[in-house]
Amino acid sequence: MNLPTPAIVAERGAQRLPRLALLLLCAAYVLPGLFGRDPWRNADLTAFGFMASIAQGHAPWWEPAIAGIPAEGGPLPFWLGALAIKALPFLDPALAARLPFAAVLLLVFTLVWYSTFHLARTEAAQPVAFAFGGEAQATDYARAMADGALLALMASLGLLMLGHETTPELLQLLACAIYLYGLAVAPYNAWKARLAVLLSLPMLAASGAPAVAMLYAGLGAWLCQRSSYDDVRGLTLWVLGAGLLSALSAWTFNAWAWRVDMPGTAEFGLELLSQFGWFCWPAWPLALWTLWRWRHHWPRRHILLPLIVFAVPMAASIAMNGSDRALLLCLPPLALLAAFALPTLKRSFAAAVDWFSVFFFSAVALFFWAYYLSMQQGWPPKLLANLQRLAQGFEPSFHPVALLVGAAATLAWLALVRWRTSRHQHAVWKSLALPAGGVTLAWLLAMTLMLPPLDYARSNRPLIERLRAQLPTTVNCIAAPGQAMSLLAALEFQGGWRVDARRPLVVTQCTHALRYVQGQEAPPAGWRLLARVKRPTDRGEQGYLLLARQ
């Protein structure tokens, strides 16, 4: 027996988001952060280091390495960045490597939109038919729901930073979105579905997540086999074949690795809940509401499919000690689930989301503008003093383009707030317009008005320049065993030095060495202290010992 769905959507509620506004919103989300900055410390800089090592011939394509230390997982993401660097030699290598990953993020947006569109078209997902007509038409309803899913994804706080890096996890996110799309489109286009699953799972394995790919293959085959659609059941063997290709890909690239690390303590559980709460906001409360309101429809593909695609990376994140990078893969299916909450929301909840978004993101914008005014005019003086204390040596600079873009983004935010609060809106996606716009505004202002101090604090370039001032011009190599991979990448590709990170100091042939210390520490035997160098953000006794051979 087919139960009535909880979705009640009138024809006027299925109006789609204007295409120009949607495209401008996507551009405002993706483009900031592409230009005018270095790769930032830790994962972003490390991944760029592997890409540059291939492009500059320091390491073979089959085994990317930094300072002789090979990369873990599959090399596919590093190939993507290296190809861009070689194809665009007239651009800064960091910018060239960043461009294809910006395209990856746009592809993720597109695939989430189409996945939601196809699932919302199924009979089980349709809104209730009215007695005298006037309900939303199937295609119009599916478009409006897809717009809502895309807004939910853009509003997710966890995507904001990780989605603008050049790391393997972004390619994993694309593979997850392709897999979701393949299973969603299966009832309508069998060949698109087959190509999608054959591409997505090996890509996932070659990007460093073979276990997730294998679990997707098993659960996807089960989901296809139980479907009432003939074309979907016919996809079962293709999904299993994609799983086999994933295993071969992981074996070829030596991508299998044991990353399970579960503390199993009460504190870990609380930390995990806290991390999930902010990382997946605001999609997770909407997804929970979907599971409750559609609780009698869980076996339907528009609920079960995103639930399965969400459960696998969620389990991986828990097993990996609450890894936020594994949690990133949860966002596309979670946004899809959140979209199906929109036709069932109460007006009071939607109003609460709107007013919270208005006050919170307006406060964030005011905060950024206050700091920008302090950097340019010296008022309020306390803000500039705080900034210079946190990033020692930072000197403000004026960029007219950043000011114009930031001002335009702020005016667009005020126009969006006025549109949403001035009169009653009927579009089903209306509750996510302000959260998505507010997140985009915050990122755009951070990457324009606040980019100079952020780049100064997050880049390793200030450290490299301080080291350069202490080193002689003729340095055969720098020994840096046991140091962070992001530092090794900065030494090689920002400093231009040859780095030995594999051999200990007692056997290295390098004339100079770098060592990170937390306090006062004497140089090892056979070495003398040349200088003690700190990052601008280092505090206390921590810093780097720059050593020279005696």
Give a three-class secondary structure readout of 4-18: CCCCCCEHHHHCCCC
Low-confidence ranges of the chain (pLDDT < 50): 1
CA 232/CA 459 separation, integer angstroms: 48
Q: CA torsion 381→386→388→390, rounded to 10°?
A: -170
Tell me the Cα Rg of the chain. 25
Of 529, 323, 354, 525, the residue nearest 435 (C-alpha): 354
CA 236/CA 220 separation, integer angstroms: 8
Of 202, 212, 218, the residue nearest 259 (C-alpha): 212
Q: Using DSSP bridges, classify how beta strands 478-479 and 499-500 pair: parallel, antiparallel or unpaired.
A: parallel
Residues 6 or more apart whose Cβ sits within 8 Å of residue 89: none
Q: What pLDDT shows up at residue 483?
A: 94
Q: Using DSSP bridges, classify how beta strands 478-479 and 512-517 pair: parallel, antiparallel or unpaired.
A: parallel
Cα angle value 92/64/329 (rounded, 5°): 85
Specify whether the CB–CB gap between 499 and 480 falls below 8 A: yes
Helix axes 168-185, 190-206, angle to 10 degrees: 160
Chain centroid offset of residue 460 CA: 21
Residues 6 or more apart whose Cβ sits within 8 Å of residue 57: none
Q: What pLDDT shows up at residue 131?
A: 65
What does the DSSP 8-state code read for residue 525? T
Provide the CB-side half-sphere exposure for 271 (13 A, CA).
13
Residue 423 falls in which region: left (phi positive, over 0), alpha (psi -120 to 50) or beta: beta
Token readout for 153 is: 């994804």
Q: What pLDDT shows up at residue 132?
A: 66
The one-letter amino acid code at 372 reads Y
3-state class (DSSP) for residue 337: helix
CA 219/CA 308 separation, integer angstroms: 7
The one-letter amino acid code at 385 reads A
Specify whether the CB–CB gap between 200 and 182 falls below 8 A: yes
Q: What pLDDT shows up at residue 134?
A: 76
Specify whether the CB–CB gap between 458 and 446 falls below 8 A: no
The one-letter amino acid code at 79 reads W
CA 201/CA 354 separation, integer angstroms: 38
CA 358/CA 47 separation, integer angstroms: 36
Specify whether the CB–CB gap between 187 and 340 falls below 8 A: no
Q: What pLDDT shows up at residue 283?
A: 95
Please state which CATH number belongs to domain 461-549. 3.40.190
Cα angle value 493/66/543 (rounded, 5°): 70
What does the DSSP 8-state code read for residue 548? E
Token readout for 76 is: 């596919």
Q: Using DSSP bridges, classify how beta strands 69-70 and 543-549 pair: parallel, antiparallel or unpaired.
A: unpaired
Instruction: State the pTM of this model.
Output: 0.95
CA 375/CA 449 separation, integer angstroms: 10
Chain centroid offset of residue 329 CA: 9
Q: What is the DSSP string of 84-114?
A: HHHH-TTS-HHHHHHHHHHHHHHHHHHHHHH
Would you call the peptide bond into 282 cis, given omega within 30 degrees of 0 as the criterion?
yes
CA 229/CA 233 separation, integer angstroms: 6
Cα angle value 400/401/402 (rounded, 5°): 90
Q: Using DSSP bridges, classify how beta strands 478-479 and 65-66 pair: parallel, antiparallel or unpaired.
A: unpaired
What are the start and end residues of each CATH 3.40.190 domain in the chain? 461-549
CA 372/CA 369 separation, integer angstroms: 5
Token readout for 303 is: 């609920």
Q: What is the DSSP string of 479-527?
A: E-TT--HHHHHHHHHTS---EE-SS-TTT---SEEEEEESS--PPPTTE
